Amino acid sequence: MVSLWLASQSPRRAAMVKAVVANATCKGLEGVDETPSSFGSVSEKVLSICQQKAKAVPQDHPFDVVLVCDTVLADPDEVDLILGKPSDALEAASMLHRLSGRRHQVWSAGGIMVRGQWNFFVEHAVVEIEALSDEALVELVLNESWKGKAGGYDLAGPMGAHAKLVDGSETTVLGIPQEVMDILGSLV
């Protein structure tokens, strides 16, 4: 049986990984700078964060496979700007208001180390959020489903009632590129 470490604090990623590798260890890395590079495309920026996480993985870990991930949204108005995780309820409300009634791209990068060798994958998907009423926006902020979520929402959570996947993989939107999920499936 393969031993796998998902180096992430995301409960959503943990659920996806444990559905494939039930005995996976899901524990985030401490003290990783998640500041993206200040230049390049959204794809390059999310990849740079993922690679920073990979560099923070201790060399002496006991696992057969290690997985690091990051997810960001492309700003619907400025394609090379990213929307990360909101820091508070006001920023979450601002992000959700900006996304309301619009389509946007969600980018996920995943790094998977098998037998000491890292491979990285970047994928994007397109999500459309309906025009949110004031009541829906307030509810999404007050229920705190935005915490720890790129763009301030979780497609598999309360936002699922207001958003739909237009193109790409749901796993990409939820935080792990589909290609990485396919590799995990081939390891078990």
Q: Which amino acid is at 157?
A: G
Is residue 33 flagged as an active site residue? no
Torsion of CA 47, 52, 57, 58, to 10 degrees: 150
Q: What is the mean pLDDT of residues 79-86?
A: 88
Of 17, 107, 119, residue with least CA distance to 71: 107
Catalytic pick among 70, 88, 167, 182: 70
Segment 148-182, tens digit of pLDDT:
999 999 999 999 999 999 999 999 999 999 999 99
3-state secondary structure of 144: coil
pLDDT at 131 over 80: yes
Of 82, 169, 176, 72, residue with least CA distance to 126: 169
The tokens describing 72, both together, are 């960001």
Q: Are strands 65-74 and 4-6 parallel, antiparallel or unpaired?
A: parallel
**Confidence at 110, pLDDT banded by 50, 70, 90:** very high
Question: 84-104 as b/e, with b when 16 or more CB fall inside 10 Å?
Answer: bbbeeeebbbebbebbbeeeb
Residues of the chain above pLDDT 90, percent: 86
* Continuous segment of H or E residues that includes residue 94: helix 89-99
The predicted pLDDT at position 35 comes to: 83
Q: What is the mean pLDDT of residues 94-117?
A: 95
The predicted pLDDT at position 72 comes to: 94
Mean pLDDT of all residues belonging to the chain: 94
Segment 4-30, tens digit of pLDDT:
999 999 999 999 999 999 999 999 998
Q: What is the mean pLDDT of residues 104-116?
A: 95
- CB-CB neighbours of 16 under 10 Å: 22
pLDDT at 69 over 80: yes
Q: What is the mean pLDDT of residues 80-93?
A: 93
Global pTM value: 0.93
pLDDT at 97 over 90: yes
